[in-house]
């Protein structure tokens, strides 16, 4: 893949990320490569410049990389993450290796790893098939979550799969996660870890009152429908970055998107499980 124009996004509140973004832009210029530079929060600038870009670099934590992917996936632009966060599940490079690694990708190439995205559609009570999702809510890399908006007040969330009712959870919320997001909120709620390139979805309740099944994995062909029943507020969250209030009787439909997240990788394929153990510090001796 020939890379002639690179977009560089940095977290605007991480000074080290902005400094590295400027250092990278100087290096790209010295190698006669075109680039553009922006805060990851400036969505208008990102949209204007992505159309003729072959690579989008995200410098920050996982939230910055998620923002980059959600924008880049609309045009099938691959994303390369530089980790300034804590765990860095989606990042490819450390800050120390970023400039040399990105220059290597631009001049000698890398390879693309594709991951699933979720497509979301909100259906208000009394509406059926003609609602259209807001563009900002149309895709998620990690997860789609319906959660309670009032403290100490659980929700009743009916879960259906392909027009078949599964169950109704009395819980703080329900998560629908991609394989990528399975190591995030889903894992914290007791859900399973799925290999990141798998295209299955995971349904996990959050603090359910009674649940015979804590999580269920469904194939990419499925359509999941979550319908809320409550007399207080509930919130739909997309990747923790977009939120919309839900009312009694509202539903959200979730399916695997036809679009895919495309990650640019630099070196040989990493050992996912070994990296997972290191990041989560599993296997370390627990001292009394």
Active site residues: 62
> Which one-letter DSSP state was computed for residue 144?
E
Measured CA to CA, the distance from residue 209 to residue 172 in angstroms comes to: 9
Give the Cα separation of 93 and 78 in Å (integer).
Answer: 15
Residue of 149, 122, 148 lying closest to 209 (CA atoms) = 148
How far from 208 is each of 152, 170, 173, CA to CA, in Å? 13, 6, 8
Query: Residue 8's Cα: distance from chain center in Å?
Result: 19
The two three-digit tokens of residue 138, written as one number: 């149309």
Residue 194 in contact with residue 184, Cβ under 8 Å?
A: no
DSSP 286: P
Segments in 172-230 forming alpha helices (H): 185-188
Q: Going along the chain, which residue ranges are E strands?
A: 5-10, 34-39, 55-60, 79-83, 111-123, 139-140, 143-148, 155-161, 164-171, 173-177, 201-206, 216-218, 224-229, 234-238, 242-246, 251-265
Structural contact between residues 263 and 115, judged by C-beta atoms closer than 8 angstroms = yes
User: Do 146 and 165 meet the contact criterion of CB atoms below 8 Å apart?
Assistant: no
Residues whose CB is less than 8 angstroms from the CB of residue 86 and which lie 6 or more positions away in sequence, other chains included: 61
């Amino acid at each position: 893949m020939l890379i002639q124009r690179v977009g560089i996004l940095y977290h605007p509140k991480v000074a080290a990320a902005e400094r590295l973004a400027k250092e990278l832009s100087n290096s790209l210029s010295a190698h006669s490569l075109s680039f553009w530079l922006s805060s990851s929060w400036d969505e208008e600038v990102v949209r204007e410049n992505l159309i003729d870009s072959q690579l989008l670099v995200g410098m920050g934590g996982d939230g910055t990389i998620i923002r980059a992917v959600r924008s880049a996936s609309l045009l099938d632009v691959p994303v390369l993450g530089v980790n300034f966060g804590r765990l860095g599940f989606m990042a490819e490079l450390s800050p120390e290796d970023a400039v040399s690694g990105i220059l290597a990708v631009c001049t000698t190439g890398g390879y693309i790893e594709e991951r699933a995205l979720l497509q979301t559609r909100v259906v208000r009570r009394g509406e059926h098939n003609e609602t259209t999702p807001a563009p900002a809510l149309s895709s998620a890399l990690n997860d789609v979550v319906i959660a309670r908006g009032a403290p100490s007040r659980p929700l009743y969330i009916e879960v259906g799969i392909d027009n078949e009712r599964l169950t109704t959870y009395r819980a703080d919320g329900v998560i629908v996660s991609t394989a990528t997001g399975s190591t995030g909120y889903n894992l914290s709620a007791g859900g399973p870890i799925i290999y990141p390139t798998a295209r299955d979805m995971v349904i996990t309740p959050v603090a359910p009152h009674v649940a015979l099944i804590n999580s269920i994995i469904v194939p990419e062909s499925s359509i999941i429908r979550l319908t809320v029943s409550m007399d207080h507020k509930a919130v739909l969250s997309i990747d923790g970055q977009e939120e919309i209030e839900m009312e009694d009787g509202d539903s959200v439909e979730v399916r695997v998107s036809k679009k895919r997240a495309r990650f640019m990788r630099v070196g040989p394929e990493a050992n996912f499980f070994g990296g997972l153990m290191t990041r989560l510090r599993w296997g370390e001796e627990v001292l009394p």
